[in-house]
Amino acid sequence: MSMTVGLYRPGDTVLHRLPVGAKLLGLAVISVSIVVLRGPLLAVGFLALAVVLALVGRLDLAATARALRAVLVIAVVVALLQWWLFTLPRAVESLLDLVSLALVALTLTVTTPTTEILDAVVRWIRPLRRVGIDPERVALTISMAIQALPGTLTIAQETRDAARARGLGRSPRAYLTPFVIRVVAGAHETGDALKARGLGD
């Protein structure tokens, strides 16, 4: 996956010009709808909506395809587990929902500077400082999550390739176990680095 995918790219589209609050609210509404409303047909509709938004935001086709290919690795594994535990329609729905969520989030980050997103979050939760919530710390957490996503997807792709090289490409366990271990190890390393700088408490 290209590490530049998901970074803001200047433009003059409708999505670029929308206020950051409207875009974040839209992302929240669409994401909640995808999770709450069930059914394969609705999943197809949400995917179509995500594609339309990506086209309106003029996302780079090649870079977006590379990004979704990495997301698709995770989505396929989840879908296979859903198929094994439940039904094929449920698996297809999960696959489409995950791709739709990823594409909508990608569209937001490509059409909105990360600094604007973080500034908006800090501004909105500043009144919560009275109850002990630190807006800057929350913004730091969100920023780290955004920066960690490309690395997580890279780990997913590398783990998939390693499983295939061992002839275990069809085994969920051969993929999921090392993937989870690497992600958790990375999280511990980040936590240790923050703690060393006095930000771990």
Q: What is the pLDDT of residues 80-113, one digit of tens each?
A: 888 888 888 888 888 889 889 889 988 988 898 8
The residue ranking higher by pLDDT, 25 or 173, is 25
Minimal CA–CA distance to 63: which of 144, 131, 8, 6?
6
- The pLDDT value recorded for residue 188 is 63
- The pLDDT value recorded for residue 143 is 64
How long is the chain?
201
The residue ranking higher by pLDDT, 62 or 50, is 50
CB 103 within 8 A of CB 68: yes
3-state secondary structure (DSSP) of residue 130: helix
- The pLDDT value recorded for residue 102 is 87
Structure-token match 């990375």, residue found: 186
- Average pLDDT of 60-72? 77
- Tell me: pLDDT of 5 over 50: no
CB 104 within 8 A of CB 53: yes
CB 137 within 8 A of CB 33: no
Q: Residue 177 — very low, low, confident or very high, per pLDDT cuts 50/70/90?
A: confident
Minimal CA–CA distance to 70: which of 45, 18, 31, 106?
106
Q: Residue 129 — very low, low, confident or very high, per pLDDT cuts 50/70/90?
A: confident
- The pLDDT value recorded for residue 40 is 85
- The pLDDT value recorded for residue 150 is 58
Core vs surface per residue 157-186: b (16+ CB within 10 A) or e: bebbeebeeeeeeeeeebbbebbeebbeee
The mean pLDDT value of the chain amounts to: 77
- The pLDDT value recorded for residue 49 is 94
Alpha-carbon dihedral sign for residues 88, 89, 90, 93: positive
Q: Residue 146 — very low, low, confident or very high, per pLDDT cuts 50/70/90?
A: low
- Tell me: pLDDT of 157 over 80: no
Question: How much of the chain, in percent, has pLDDT values that exceed 70?
Answer: 72
Q: How far is CA 136 from the centre of its chain?
A: 22
Two tokens, residue 127: 């009144």
State the pTM of this model. Answer: 0.66
Q: Which amino acid is at 78?
A: V
CB 9 within 8 A of CB 110: yes
Q: How far is CA 139 from the centre of its chain?
A: 17
- Average pLDDT of 158-182? 70
